[in-house]
Amino acid sequence: MKIVVLAGGTSTERDVSLSTGKMIYKALKNKGHQVVLLDVFLGYQSETTNIFDIDKDWAEGLGNIGKDNPDINKIKSLRKGNPDHFFGPRVLEICQMADIVYLALHGENGEDGKIQASFDLMGIKYTGTDYASSSIAMDKAVSKELFAYYNIPTPLGIHVKKGEAYDWDTYPCVVKVNNGGSSVGVSIVNSPSEMEPAINNAFSYGDQLIIEQYIKGREFSVGVIDNKALPVIEIAPISGFYDYKNKYQEGSAIETCPADISSSIADEMQQMAVKVFHALRLKTYARMDFILDEEGRIYCLEANTLPGMTPTSLLPQEALAVGIDFEALCELIIEISLKKYS
């Protein structure tokens, strides 16, 4: 197949996306596909005729994920042409030449349904769920409303827009960006004196945020592929909580799959993951994050519609636990994604 792996972009998760794209690109090349890896924002400057036949390593020069999220203004300065246009030079043209586009994007303008909607209008096939469910899952406030409607336990919280007054007096609590990802802009607030810096931090990444109760417990994740739950994985940070650094720096967290929990709790968490999958109208695949509190109660935190596929990512570890290696996982996601168009 002729496949474009689309990565990069202008979100705070750019580095994660490039690492994801690099691994997917290499896996699909090893399986014999004709693959082109593109940065959706920087694009491609050369001739596109027979681009899938070019003998080159499209992943050459891509770095690893840093400890801090990237400087987006610096990235925009590298763009030739109008930096306000999201799609880089010739990106759409090349995507139209492919049999399918493998979305390795994360965060804003990648995981929020905008690219999916653009591709639907242009007749470009892509991996993952559709534009509507992408938008719903990316919006934590809307997701929480659907969780409540479908009786899916989730931490109690409020939705705050920039400039709005809010009423909150429960501590500790969590402040997070409403449409963010990879724990960028997330703070655990232990007292009222810590609230203003946490809110200012979150608002530096977006104009809406969530304040929710802090649930003390163990962190888990469950992938769902084609309506079937994968084994539960537990994430235990060496220090602090599961923030950007602990997610992407090797040795920062201990990940156990299958998780060391009772079969009844594992079954309940897997069933809840599938329930979330259906509640948010998701298609093809996703990954759901959970907290198990000290009383054995399970809370769903959020759904990730384009889970990371980096060297430390969770979904590939879960798939491997049931005998699906990374290359097979990438091909499986393509196979299931094509069902949207049959």
Low-confidence ranges of the chain (pLDDT < 70): 61-72, 180-183, 239-252, 311
Q: What pLDDT digit, counting tens, does each position of 188-234 carry? A: 999 999 999 999 999 888 889 999 999 999 999 999 999 999 999 99
Question: According to the model, what pLDDT value does residue 272 have?
Answer: 98
> Cα–Cα distance between 163 and 236 in angstroms, integer?
36
Q: What is the DSSP string of 228-273?
A: EEPPPEEEEESSSSS-HHHHHSTTSEEEESS-SS-HHHHHHHHHHH
CATH homologous superfamily for the domain 137-152+215-324: ATP-grasp fold, B domain (3.30.470.20)
Torsion, CA 267, CA 273, CA 278, CA 284, rounded to 10: -110
Kindly state the tokens that stand for 143.
């997701």
Question: According to the model, what pLDDT value does residue 68 have?
Answer: 61
Residue with tokens 């400087």: 71
- Mention every residue, 6+ apart, whose C-beta is less than 8 A from residue 30: 327
- Mention every residue, 6+ apart, whose C-beta is less than 8 A from residue 279: 146, 147, 149, 150, 152
Question: According to the model, what pLDDT value does residue 127 have?
Answer: 98
Backbone angles phi, psi at 81, to 5 degrees: 100, -165
What's the fold here for domain 157-213? Dna Ligase; domain 1 (3.30.1490)
Pick the CATH number of 2-126 from 3.40.50.20, 3.30.1330.40, 1.20.210.10, 3.40.50.12710: 3.40.50.20
Question: According to the model, what pLDDT value does residue 143 have?
Answer: 96
> Cα–Cα distance between 293 and 297 in angstroms, integer?
5
Q: Collapsing DSSP states into helix, strand and coil, what is residue 224?
A: strand
Question: According to the model, what pLDDT value does residue 63 have?
Answer: 59
Q: What pLDDT digit, counting tens, does each position of 21-32 carry? A: 999 999 999 999
Question: According to the model, what pLDDT value does residue 84 have?
Answer: 74
Q: Whole-prediction pTM value?
A: 0.88
- Taking a C-beta distance cutoff of 8 angstroms, is the pair 5, 21 a contact? yes
All structural domains of the chain with their residue ranges? 2-126, 137-152+215-324, 157-213
- Mention every residue, 6+ apart, whose C-beta is less than 8 A from residue 230: 222, 223, 224, 315, 318, 319, 321, 322
Question: According to the model, what pLDDT value does residue 247 have?
Answer: 47
- List of E strands, the chain: 2-7, 34-39, 100-103, 157-161, 173-177, 187-189, 208-213, 217-225, 228-229, 233-237, 253-256, 285-293, 298-304
Residue with tokens 């969770």: 314
Of 280, 109, 242, the closest CA to residue 179 belongs to 109
Number of Cβ atoms within 10 Å of the Cβ of 221 = 27
